[in-house]
Amino acid sequence: MTGLASRLVVTAAGLPIVLGAAWLGGWTMLALVAFAALLALHELYRAGRAFRPLVLAGFGGTVAALLGLQIGDVTWMLGGALLTLPLAFLFVLFAQTRQSVTVSISFTVLGTIWVTLGLAHLVLVRGIPEHGRLAIFTVLLTVFATDTGAYLVGRLVGRHRMAPAISPGKSWEGFAGGAVAGLFTSFVALYKAGYLEIWESLVLGAAVVLASVLGDLLESLVKRDVGIKDTGRLLGGHGGVLDRVDSLLVAGPAAFYCLLALGAT
């Protein structure tokens, strides 16, 4: 199966599940986010095994953060995520590793902050009173449109490398195509919805588009640093779970705080 065909199969199978969980919200969405977070965290820690991450500490912080968010609020989410640090200190006392303790703990905490809190912000977006369902659908579809537009346009007409030292496959033409697709999606999703003004929907779309691209580049930088092409093979042409959610890890927080700034939360 070609890379493109594999992408289409995974998208066709996965997109309804993601959108269905987003539609239902609550514990259903939390379960999907937790599943994705733990798989992505596992891939990250496996890719960076040379840094000797304290896996159980990262998993513990992830579970605590997501449960804290669902049962309590954002304060408990942050408290749960911070639990990663004392757990890492505790586990490092029993870990037999020659790696620097600072490096080991830092990489462990990076996973919780980057992966777990990034995905947790999607739950925060879904929890916006009255308009949470519309907001999360807009964010997810805008990220999907941005990624798809960038991929297709980049393959067709991409000539000028965007960040050759980080991700040689990305082009400025692809970025432009993804940006247009993402902005259009955000505009259409919110047009006459009575939630945001037109200019606000475009601001949200721009924030999500830029954050999506940044998230993709950030993961590419990490992969280059640890010397791998993909974080896994679970999703075929999409690579691993972390390869699939990389854009959301930055787009989720960007969307939530953009909506917060617009007074739409």
- Model confidence pLDDT, tens digit, residues 154-172: 889 978 888 888 888 888 9
- pLDDT at residue 50 is higher than 80: yes
**Rounded Cα gap, residues 263 and 209, in angstroms:** 20
Span of 30-39, 112-121, 155-164, 223-232 with lowest mean pLDDT: 223-232
More confident residue, 64 or 237: 64
- pLDDT at residue 230 is higher than 80: no
pTM above 0.85, yes or no: yes
Using alpha carbons, select from 240, 16, 222 the residue that is nearest to residue 107. Answer: 222
> What number is the average pLDDT over the span 49-63?
94
Q: What is the pLDDT confidence band of residue 6, given thresholds at 50, 70 and 90?
A: low
- pLDDT at residue 95 is higher than 80: no
**Rounded Cα gap, residues 24 and 36, in angstroms:** 17
- The rounded radius of gyration (Å) of the Cα atoms in the chain is 18
- pLDDT at residue 15 is higher than 90: no
Q: What is the pLDDT confidence band of residue 237, given thresholds at 50, 70 and 90?
A: low
* Residue given tokens 């940044």 in the structure block: 214
Helix, coil or strand: residue 49 = helix
What pLDDT, on the 0 to 100 scale, is given for residue 85?
95
pLDDT in tens, 119-137: 999 999 999 999 999 999 9
Structural tokens at position 158: 């991409």
**Rounded Cα gap, residues 187 and 180, in angstroms:** 11
Helix, coil or strand: residue 53 = coil
* Residue given tokens 């594999």 in the structure block: 6
- pLDDT at residue 98 is higher than 80: no
**Rounded Cα gap, residues 44 and 50, in angstroms:** 11
79: CB partners within 8 A, 6+ apart: 64, 68
